[in-house]
Chain A
């Protein structure tokens, strides 16, 4: 058997796993609803400059803590800044950071998971011990400690979340690879003498990545919550950059008089998270092999 033929067979066997995703996605109402919600949030965030004339940091100390009016749709905060613009620009910041923050652990975790699963034994033991140690720490404690050590701000958030978050991806990918590497198409590729890297990248990865992608959707939700929480604690995105968490913290002092300051950003978080969860659930359903 020539290399080319063997490769062809291995390729053919590898692609069999792709599911009939395309035909069904628009028929799942939850999934569609999720896309609509998230799409709207993203669209609104991008269109922020068009939707509001105020800069989010524009203070107006003559008009503090005002209720909703025609000039300020959602009122103003304790420094006279327009709530509505802060909400929209906050969306920009939080969403961007969240999407990036899920990407890095995804890559790192997938990489380490592949190695652990494929090569097994010593490398596997080391990586899984590392997993055990990281997992031993409560998520938030570690994040907060790391952000403390690295200093507040978006960069620290990326680093902290990556160092803590890779674990779940590594576990998932490792598990999938342990099962997948026994499959025939892998044995065929190995028999044909392909280099490991090629086998992993071209044959194993496309089939195991779906579980990680599904997990990434719930991970984004987690990351948004983490970012917002750090903002609340004053450890995340630093003022004056608007951030939903920071807004909730600011508003807590005025709970008795103007409770909307704390409530509305929270609702925004919940809505965004809901949309992402719906997408995640829908994706899990659609990508599940029949």
Chain B
């Protein structure tokens, strides 16, 4: 019951942040130098069209009134209409959202599968050969531009080496998705794995100095069990927050990865809309991204409280 109240409270706390996100998005339109309507219309600008857009966007009203309009529309799920496609921005977004969600989920899973064994390997024998190698990974790995890594993976596994994976696209059906999205998910995973490894290794090393590890060893259980059931289980508690922050980062990274692998997700939608100057869609996607991240952090907090029984709910 306590936990439920805690989750509720965190949800409530997230509201002001979400509101802030909307305000920021709202102000985007006002950051555009010059007249946003004229800029959006580009070569198609005529005084009549400009006035029409002004009216539609409520730019002919006062600022607070505009925000009110914005929020009113938002609450009804109206993110505006695409200038390019003449359909609601939301329909464009919702159609492509699953792809991006797949990419994020798949990528996160892979990154955990990569990071945990490497970190455990490194921490189990500190300063040993394996440790040195694993420590070099974040050092070099953090300098890899994710999109370049994606291209290299494409080159290696998509074009050469037996053409194992498709060069682009989403695939059909669950196994189709898993197959087609493997390279992009791997790119995403390799992007955040270095930070996870570094953080988890540090956590593990600290945990391994704890008294309860000595107690565990004094029971005569296998070293594997000590590492996994005692050390790792405690180390992940602090790594969860790092993972959360990184998923936030990862969400943004999908924009680029989708571009490299031609995945029809909302990231690619955003980039195309930018090139087409389809402002409402850009604004809508930014908003969706912002809200996604807020929920990722929320989920991280909840996961943390599930993993650590010492978290107090008051």
* Chain A residues packing against B (C-beta within 8 Å): 129-130, 132-142, 144-146, 148-151, 218, 221, 225, 228-229, 232-235, 245, 248, 252, 255-256, 259, 262-263, 265-266, 269-274, 276-278, 281
- CB of B251 to closest CB in A, whole Å: 4
**Contact: B145 with A277, CB < 8 Å?**
no
A277 contact from B24, B139, B259, B286, Cβ within 8 A: B139
Question: In the complex where A137-B293, A138-B289 touch, is A278 in contact with B139 (Cβ < 8 A)?
Answer: yes
Across the interface, name the chain B residue whose C-beta is closest to A163: B31
Pick the 4 closest A-B CB pairs, nearest first.
Answer: A273-B143, A138-B252, A140-B252, A133-B20
**Contact: B31 with A140, CB < 8 Å?**
no
**Contact: B290 with A137, CB < 8 Å?**
yes
- CB of B249 to closest CB in A, whole Å: 6
> Which of B2-10, B123-131, B151-159 forms contacts with chain A?
B151-159
Q: Is B51 part of the contact surface with A, judged by Cβ < 8 Å?
A: no
User: What DSSP secondary structure best describes chain B's contact surface?
Assistant: helix
Bound Cα distance A144, B251 (Å): 13
Across the interface, name the chain A residue whose C-beta is closest to B156: A259
Q: Which residues of chain B have C-beta atoms less than 8 A from A129's C-beta?
A: 16, 20
Q: Which residues of chain A have C-beta atoms less than 8 A from B250's C-beta?
A: 138
**Contact: B143 with A138, CB < 8 Å?**
no
- CB of A95 to closest CB in B, whole Å: 14
- CB of A31 to closest CB in B, whole Å: 13
Across the interface, name the chain A residue whose C-beta is closest to B135: A281
**Contact: A233 with B259, CB < 8 Å?**
yes
- For the A-B complex with A133-B24, A273-B143 known, give 8 more contacts whose Cβ atoms are closer than 8 Å: A134-B24, A138-B251, A148-B282, A151-B33, A225-B146, A266-B152, A269-B145, A274-B143
A229 contact from B139, B147, B249, Cβ within 8 A: B147
**Contact: B145 with A132, CB < 8 Å?**
no
- CB of B174 to closest CB in A, whole Å: 26
Q: Is B274 part of the contact surface with A, judged by Cβ < 8 Å?
A: yes
Bound Cα distance A37, B148 (Å): 21
**Contact: A255 with B143, CB < 8 Å?**
no
- CB of B63 to closest CB in A, whole Å: 17
Q: Which residues from 148 to 180 on chain B have a C-beta closer than 8 Å to any C-beta of chain A?
A: 148, 151-152, 154-155, 159
Residue from B16, B147, B293, B294 having most chain A Cβ neighbours under 10 A? B147
**Contact: A138 with B147, CB < 8 Å?**
no
- CB of B36 to closest CB in A, whole Å: 9
**Contact: A139 with B17, CB < 8 Å?**
no
Question: In the complex where A235-B274, A259-B155, A273-B143 touch, is A141 in contact with B17 (Cβ < 8 A)?
Answer: no
**Contact: A138 with B293, CB < 8 Å?**
yes
